[in-house]
Amino acid sequence: MRLVQKFVIAALATLLAAEPAVALSRVKDLVSVEGIRENMLVGYGLVVGLNGSGDSLKNAPFTQQSIQTMLERMGVNTRGQTMQTKNTAAVMVTAKLPAFAANGTGVDVSVSAMGDAKSLQGGTLLVTTLFGADGQIYALAQGPVNVGGFSAQGDGGSVTKNVPTAGRIPNGAIVEREIGFNLASEHNLKLALHNPDFTTASRIASAVNSFIGMPVATTADPSTVQLAVPADYKGGVIGLLTDIEQIKVATDTPAKVIINEATGVIVMGSDVRISTVAIAQGNLTIKVTETPEVSQPGPLSGGTTQVTPRTKIDIDDGKSKKMVVMHEGVSLQNLVDGLNALGVGPRDIISILQAIKAAGALQADIQVIG
């Protein structure tokens, strides 16, 4: 009896080990709640204190107008005067206002030069109002600009690292206006999937209903799950979202091949399959190598030194390439191994995948980017 039990346990362990592991993801990482999002802010300002690397006012008249307007507000009249300072640069300031950001909260801002400034290193952003899409002021930004690059030049050359005309100010903006959104009073919520998919949306709805114990979640479309908040749920809306976020769901994605022809990068999903197809790849390569040789005359011969050309031509007609047969339903690993067996690089693999798709043997969508 014990021998039979050991055999059954060993057989079950073998079957479990043979099954592929299913990747589970938290609902928190798959969806976002409609209404809870960041908002874009933008503003125009001046960066001062530059060491001669700012805008040349002749080529950037808007910088001069901004300086004059700023000085007039401080009681200094410079109208009609000629300015030659190069220590100021006009910049665009951008930021993201987080959801539920309270008054006085610090927000990171990005600063980018508009004119012909060479660098913003060492500069300080003056008080800049940041506007939302509705034209309202939501934050004020000011502070020293942190630049991740530098630029140096001399009479004979110059060197530039990264982008010295753009920088950031950590916590450089202070929120002055809150965006009103009373989440606690909501009775119906929408969960928007980051990657819309019918199967994933249905699995999320089923997992939520199983966890709550009642049908509170329904699938409206592949990108949205409707959620009705139970009136007597402990913790209300916040408690419900907190619990739902930790539910783990097996995601599903369509078979897809992503190709970036500009860089030669190929990304294939695990569900990519092909039908039976034979592949052969070979290129004609002609390599010409020039190796000049110097012919030196003997002593007192009266001859002159001559350069004799030596040309070597190598031809690779692809005879070493073999045809590989891909059988029906092969996995991603088999597909990659088969293509590698042909000795081809990423550029040739792109052409092969497109040819397989044209033949109707690739059971996946090809998306070309870049």
Neighbouring residues of 215: CB distance < 8 A, sequence distance ≥ 6: 209
pTM of the entire structure?
A: 0.65
Mean pLDDT of 170-189: 87
- Which phi-psi region, left, alpha or beta, contains residue 264 (left: φ > 0; alpha: ψ -120 to 50)? left
Q: Give me the sign of the Cα torsion angle 247, 250, 254, 256.
A: positive
The Cα 268–Cα 256 span in angstroms is 6
Residue 108 structure tokens: 């990171």
Percent of the chain with pLDDT over 70: 75
| Identity at 152, one-letter amino acid code | A
Mean pLDDT of 327-349: 67
Band the pLDDT of 178: cuts 50, 70, 90: confident
Q: What is the pLDDT of residues 54-92, one digit of tens each?
A: 998 888 888 888 888 888 888 888 777 777 888 999 999
Decide if 244 contacts 327 (C-beta within 8 A): no
Query: How buried is 271 (Cβ within 10 angstroms: 0-12 exposed, 13-18 middle, 19+ buried)?
Result: middle
Q: 25-29, 159-163, 255-259: which range is least confident on average?
A: 159-163
The Cα 87–Cα 78 span in angstroms is 17
pLDDT at 152 exceeding the cut of 90: no
Helices (H) and strands (E) in the chain, counts: 7, 26
Band the pLDDT of 13: cuts 50, 70, 90: very low
303 versus 321: which is more confidently predicted?
303
pLDDT at 18 exceeding the cut of 60: no
pLDDT at 316 exceeding the cut of 80: no
Q: 132-141, 187-196, 256-265: which range is least confident on average?
A: 256-265
Band the pLDDT of 156: cuts 50, 70, 90: low
